[in-house]
Amino acid sequence: SQTIHQWPATLVQPVGSPLSLECTVEGTSNPNLYWYRQAAGRGLQLLFYSVGIGQISSEVPQNLSASRPQDRQFILSSKKLLLSDSGFYLCAWKQGAYNEQFFGPGTRLTVL
Amino acid sequence: AQSVTQPDIHITVSEGASLELRCNYSYGATPYLFWYVQSPGQGLQLLLKYFSGDTLVQGIKGFEAEFKRSQSSFNLRKPSVHWSDAAEYFCAVGARDSSYKLIFGSGTRLLVRP
C-alpha cells in the first residue's frame, strides 16, 4: 500500500533562516506531488505541484521554492524565512486519471 | 475560473442529530468533487468523491453526499453525528487538466454538543 511521509513534524525557525521540508511517497511510481499551505484558521492554498522529476509548477509568487530530485521525493525550501511563512504545510500525491489526492501528516512551521 | 464556496464557517450540532454541510462549486464542465476531513493538527482524509454516475455517493464513516448539477452543489450529509465527527471539513473540485490540482473551499468547522 502507499504511504506518504513528511519531515519534520514541527519546526520553529527564526526570521531570515533557511528552510527545507521533505515529503516522500512509498508504494507508487511517477505520482503527481503537491505542496499546500494552511495558515491558522484558513483553507488550503496550493503552492507548488510536480508531474515528474525536475518538473515544478508554482501557483503563488512567494519566497518559497520546490524541487523534485527523485520520483517520490518533493522538497519545499526557502533561503530566508518571513513571519508570514508560518503555517501548516501539507504534501499530497495523486496517481491515475482522476484528482483524488492523498495527504501526508503535515509539518507545523512557526517563524519567530 | 473554478471555485468552491462553503458558506458555513462553523456549524454546531448535538450528538445524534443529523448533519448537512453545504458546498457550492463553479465549474464549466462536469466536475470531479471531493469531501475531505481534517482533525486538529492532522492531514486531510478523503471522505468521498464524485466522478460520474449515481449522484448520491457513499463515503467512509457513514457520510454521504449528493451531486446536484442544477444547483451546482455537493452537500455532505450524515444521519446521526458522533462526537468523534468534530473536525474541519473541506469540499474540493478537481481541475480537469494535466495538473489534476484540487481547488478547496475555505472549510466548515463542525462542533458536536454532547
- Which CA distances in Å does B41 have to A87, B81, B92? 11, 21, 20
Interface test with B, best of A99, A100, A103 (most B CBs within 10 A): A99
Picking from A88, A100, A105, the nearest residue to B46 by CB comes out as A100
Under a CB-based contact definition with an 8 Å cutoff, are residues B27 and B93 in contact?
A: yes
pLDDT digits (tens, 9 = 90+) for B48-93: 999 988 999 999 999 999 999 999 999 999 999 999 999 999 999 9
Q: Is the pLDDT of residue A43 over 90?
A: no
pLDDT at res. A64: 95
Distance from CA of A16 to the nearest CA of B (A): 25
Q: What is the identity of the amino acid at B88?
A: E
Q: Is there a contact between B99 and A108 if contact means CB atoms under 8 Å apart?
A: no
| A42 close contact with B: CB closer than 8 A | yes
Q: What DSSP letter does each residue of B74-98 carry, written as one string? A: EEEEESS--GGG-EEEEEEEE--ST
> Nearest-CA neighbor of A93 among A10, A1, A26?
A26
pLDDT digits (tens, 9 = 90+) for A50-63: 999 999 999 887 89
pLDDT at res. A62: 82
Q: Is there a contact between B100 and A108 if contact means CB atoms under 8 Å apart?
A: no
Picking from B44, B49, B95, the nearest residue to A90 by CB comes out as B44
| A99 close contact with B: CB closer than 8 A | yes
Name every chain A residue with its beta carbon within 8 A of the beta carbon of B102: 46, 99, 101
> Nearest-CA neighbor of B93 among B9, B22, B30?
B30
Name every chain A residue with its beta carbon within 8 A of the beta carbon of B106: 42-43
CA atoms within 13 A on the CB side of B59: 22
pLDDT at res. B27: 84
Picking from B43, B49, B107, the nearest residue to A103 by CB comes out as B43
Distance from CA of A109 to the nearest CA of B (A): 12
Specify the DSSP element, H or E, that contains A99: none
Measured CA to CA, the distance from residue B108 to residue B36 in angstroms comes to 11
How far is Cα of residue B109 from the mean position of the Cα atoms in its chain? 11
pLDDT digits (tens, 9 = 90+) for B5-52: 999 999 999 999 999 999 999 987 778 999 999 998 889 999 999 998
Q: What DSSP letter does each residue of A21-81 carry, written as one string? A: EEEEEES-SS-EEEEEEE-TT--EEEEEEEEETTEEEESS-SSEEEEEEETTEEEEEESS-
Measured CA to CA, the distance from residue B76 to residue B64 in angstroms comes to 6
- At which residue does the C-alpha cell 462549486 appear? B25
Measured CA to CA, the distance from residue A106 to residue A88 in angstroms comes to 6
Choose between A1 and B85: higher pLDDT: B85
pLDDT at res. A97: 74
Distance from CA of B6 to the nearest CA of A (A): 11
Measured CA to CA, the distance from residue A19 to residue A107 in angstroms comes to 12
